[in-house]
Structure 1
Amino acid sequence: MKLTVQVKLLPTPGQAAALEATLRACNEAATWASRVAFEKDVKRNFALREHTYNQVKERWNLGAQAAQHVIKKTCDAYATLKANLRAGNLGRPGSNRYLRATEKPITFRSQGAQPYDDRMLSWQMAERRVSVWTVAGRIKDVAFTATPEQLATLALYRRGESDLLLRDGIWFLLATCEVPEAPPNTDPHDFLGIDLGIVNIATTSDGEIMAGRGLNRIRNRERTLRTKLQKKNTPSAKRRLKKRRRKEARRAKDINHKIAKHVVAEAERTGRGIALEDLTGIRERVRLRRPQRATHSSWAFAQLGQFIVYKARRAGVPVVHVDPAYTSRTCAECGHIDKANRVSQAWFACRSCGFVDHADRNSSRNIRARAWELWRRGAPSTAPAPPPRQRDGAGRERSTTASGARCAGPAL
């Protein structure tokens, strides 16, 4: 399976200037190629090369490989846009959002990611150095740093392209690795049900609750601070906003990685599969009061589900997605379904048999039972391979699900 390893580059000021000039040239060329693709309605890789390849090389002083990657990046961006339009992620046809996305060509940020293949980028793992092509010539001995686990993964499994990325003044390389999967467990003796939520991020059918109250308090505090800074709208307030951007997302991602790692390790240790809810489209199905919308929209349930899935595939643990309908209203003991069974957010009390339990644990037991029933009927593991990475209009890497929805790809 394909995973992405992110390493941090440590270039000198001169090297950083050459790298920044390279990103700027490549993204300017991609924006121009995008305009040609839009005007001529040619959005396939080899067809677009006929119209843009020579001009991209000569006008922006790019090498042959760089020019080809620029054109391919442009075509990938239009493929991602098409998938999102088809999936309805940009609104209905004719809506303002839909028209904004389709009535003008895609543009790329000056610091958008640029793909490199092995002809343009070489790794010296022992010295922790890379040699990178730039518009100013090839730069050698660019230092990088990574964790021991990342270095081992790079040395053993790195295959294919690596993306050069500048994020908040820090340089990164995103390297693609082909990591082998463990043999799948085709005979689990049970399933570990996982109920995903906002107050409690994940609750297992074993009764383990991974609460999200601390994360929610931090989100509320950050949201209040952002509101105050946006109202001030001073240069110092803007600097603080820029400094704090992505901080909450990084924290949530780190928590999701830890939860997913723990869940998969427990399932692997006990020889069980993992049962998850299929929450596709939940944001469109649920109607919320205004104070709840921001909290619900910041709920990274899809990211947590993807982390569990790809870690489970790597460990050989089967994953089954079940229909979440009425799992919070169904008694895990007698099967009685009643809206009144859910006494509060935290507690479940069956009106038929009197069974009392934590509400999320009761739901996770129902999820486990549904997954076990599906598995006994012969349903296969529904853990797909990580979706292929594509680039959006800003030159950022995105993964595309089967429905075309964009989401963060797995990374080590």
Structure 2
Amino acid sequence: MKLVTQVKLMPEADQAAALAATLRTVNEAACWVSAVAFERGVPREYELRKHTYAELKARGLGAQAAQHVIKKTRDAYTALKANIRVGNLGKPGSKRRAKAESKPITFRPEAAQPYDDRCLSWQYDAATVSVWTTAGRLRHVRFACSPDALKMLREHRKGESDLIERDGVFYLVAVCEVPENPLNENPAGFVGVDLGITNIATTSTGYRAAGRGLNRHRKRQLDLRKKLQAKGTKSAKRLLKKRSRKEARHTANVNHIISKKIVTTAERTGAGIALEDLTGIRSRVRLRKDQRTPLHAWSFLQLGRYIEYKAKRAGVPVVYVDPAYTSQQCSQCGYIDRRNRQSQATFACRSCGALAHADDNASHNIGRKGETVWTAGRQSRAPATP
């Protein structure tokens, strides 16, 4: 399983200048390669290399750096094509899609640049790296990270690392190949996880992650964004970008904490995890105007991915189930009625009279569906017929 580890570089003044100049140079070169690719109908990587490699070398890029610039550009067009195919840029004829298809892809001056082991080496004991730049090889560039991150780098780093710059600070994002634990083929039931906005996650084991704190944080950020957007100055735009990243980091941290709690519980009890398949929910539901912002800020996909990769490391099986009627069905008697859900928090079965928190009831239904999906999907252990 591939994971990424981020370390912070702490270069000297001359080293920082060389790193900044390198990023500007390679991204300017990538913009030029992108223009060539767009002009020639985005050819394959090998053909694109024939049209651009010599010029990249003449611009002062090393052999490996030139190869990475070409590959980075071609991968960007592959990603654009995939986004168009799945409809992320709108329907055919839409303004957003037409704009994306009408011009070459451009790269920001501080956009990430991939490095392989030929142009970047790690010295873990000294906590330094040696990295290629347009000014020559920089040696003994210090980096800082947590002890756990250093251990992961030392034991599992494999493949490319990306050099990025954010607000004048340089980082290296390294790919690590982490071994997976053997999958638990016979889980003792499934922990159902009901995802929501009021309660971020509610499990059938009794854990409930309230969303009040995160929703208040988002509301404060939204109010601040409105004030800054009304100003429209350069400093306001810089602060908008800074606050946006801060909100994203806060949300990711909350989702990491919740996902770790869920996976740890499932691992300890020998159970699997059942999640709702909420694909396309934003386009399916009809909401009032005041409800749209919370829905579009809802990070259920990120939480699901965090649960997935943590479960994979722990050997915990994860299944996705159809969320239909999970909030309307009684987990005690199975009776389904829209009127069972009396409010956001209250579930009262009109057949058996069972009372429960609505999210708790839904989590039990999801867990039961997870067992059904797992049983239907796993391979038979029955001996072959002689």
Aligned residue identity for 1:122: S
- Equivalent runs, 1:302-313 vs 2, <5 Å: 302-313=301-312
- Equivalent runs, 1:11-410 vs 2, <5 Å: 11-58=11-58, 60-379=59-378
Aligned residue identity for 1:247: K
Kindly indicate whether the alpha-carbon contact (under 8 Å) linking 1:201 and 1:212 is maintained by their aligned counterparts in 2.
Answer: yes
CA distance in 2, matches of 1:278, 1:243: 32
Kindly indicate whether the alpha-carbon contact (under 8 Å) linking 1:201 and 1:211 is maintained by their aligned counterparts in 2.
Answer: yes
Task: Kindly state the Cα deviation for residue 224 of structure 1 after the two structures are TM-superposed.
Answer: 0.3
Normalising by structure 2, what TM-score? 0.96
Task: Kindly state the Cα deviation for residue 118 of structure 1 after the two structures are TM-superposed.
Answer: 0.4
CA distance in 1, matches of 2:377, 2:221: 47
CA distance in 1, matches of 2:18, 2:25: 11
Aligned residue identity for 2:285: V
CA distance in 1, matches of 2:280, 2:344: 22
CA distance in 1, matches of 2:165, 2:378: 44
CA distance in 1, matches of 2:238, 2:21: 24
CA distance in 2, matches of 1:106, 1:134: 24
Kindly indicate whether the alpha-carbon contact (under 8 Å) linking 1:330 and 1:341 is maintained by their aligned counterparts in 2.
Answer: yes
Task: Kindly state the Cα deviation for residue 235 of structure 1 after the two structures are TM-superposed.
Answer: 4.6
Query: Closer, same or farther in 2 for the Cα pair 1:10/1:72, shift >3 Å?
Result: same
Kindly indicate whether the alpha-carbon contact (under 8 Å) linking 2:179 and 2:313 is maintained by their aligned counterparts in 1.
Answer: yes
CA distance in 2, matches of 1:28, 1:119: 22
Q: SS of the residue aligned with 2:295?
A: helix
CA distance in 2, matches of 1:36, 1:368: 53
Aligned residue identity for 2:304: G
Q: SS of the residue aligned with 1:344?
A: coil
Task: Kindly state the Cα deviation for residue 244 of structure 1 after the two structures are TM-superposed.
Answer: 2.1
Aligned residue identity for 2:116: D
Q: SS of the residue aligned with 1:245?
A: helix
Kindly indicate whether the alpha-carbon contact (under 8 Å) linking 1:43 and 1:78 is maintained by their aligned counterparts in 2.
Answer: no
**How well do the aligned residues superpose, as a CA RMSD in angstroms?**
1.1
Q: SS of the residue aligned with 1:274?
A: strand
Task: Kindly state the Cα deviation for residue 77 of structure 1 after the two structures are TM-superposed.
Answer: 0.2
Query: Closer, same or farther in 2 for the Cα pair 1:235/1:72, shift >3 Å?
Result: closer
Aligned residue identity for 2:232: N
CA distance in 1, matches of 2:318, 2:225: 38
CA distance in 2, matches of 1:103, 1:34: 13
Kindly indicate whether the alpha-carbon contact (under 8 Å) linking 2:346 and 2:358 is maintained by their aligned counterparts in 1.
Answer: yes
Task: Kindly state the Cα deviation for residue 245 of structure 1 after the two structures are TM-superposed.
Answer: 2.9
Partner of 1:8: 8
How many corresponding residue pairs? 379
Q: What is the CA deviation profile of residues 64-112 of structure 1, one whole-angstrom value per residue up to 9, with x for unaligned ones? A: 0000000000010001011111111110111111101111111111110
Q: Any unmatched runs of 5+ in structure 1?
A: 381-412
Q: Higher relative contact order by CA 8 Å / sep ≥ 6: 1 or 2? A: 1
Partner of 1:390: none
Aligned residue identity for 2:361: N
Q: SS of the residue aligned with 1:246?
A: helix
Query: Closer, same or farther in 2 for the Cα pair 1:239/1:189, shift >3 Å?
Result: closer
Query: Closer, same or farther in 2 for the Cα pair 1:117/1:236, shift >3 Å?
Result: closer
Task: Kindly state the Cα deviation for residue 239 of structure 1 after the two structures are TM-superposed.
Answer: 4.3
Normalising by structure 1, what TM-score? 0.90
Q: SS of the residue aligned with 1:126?
A: coil
CA distance in 2, matches of 1:242, 1:91: 25
Q: SS of the residue aligned with 1:328?
A: coil
Q: What is the CA deviation profile of residues 42-71 of structure 1, one whole-angstrom value per residue up to 9, with x for unaligned ones? A: 33211110111111111x210000000000
CA distance in 1, matches of 2:228, 2:352: 53
CA distance in 2, matches of 1:69, 1:216: 41
CA distance in 1, matches of 2:8, 2:357: 43
CA distance in 2, matches of 1:106, 1:351: 57
Q: SS of the residue aligned with 2:141?
A: strand
Aligned residue identity for 2:288: R
Task: Kindly state the Cα deviation for residue 236 of structure 1 after the two structures are TM-superposed.
Answer: 4.4
Partner of 1:392: none
Between 1:183-192 and 1:42-51, the stretch displaced more is 42-51
Q: Any unmatched runs of 5+ in structure 2?
A: 380-386
CA distance in 1, matches of 2:285, 2:215: 20
Q: Larger Rg: 1 or 2?
A: 2
CA distance in 1, matches of 2:346, 2:273: 24
Kindly indicate whether the alpha-carbon contact (under 8 Å) linking 1:203 and 1:210 is maintained by their aligned counterparts in 2.
Answer: yes
CA distance in 1, matches of 2:102, 2:232: 31
CA distance in 1, matches of 2:166, 2:270: 41
Between 1:210-219 and 1:242-251, the stretch displaced more is 242-251
Kindly indicate whether the alpha-carbon contact (under 8 Å) linking 2:42 and 2:77 is maintained by their aligned counterparts in 1.
Answer: no
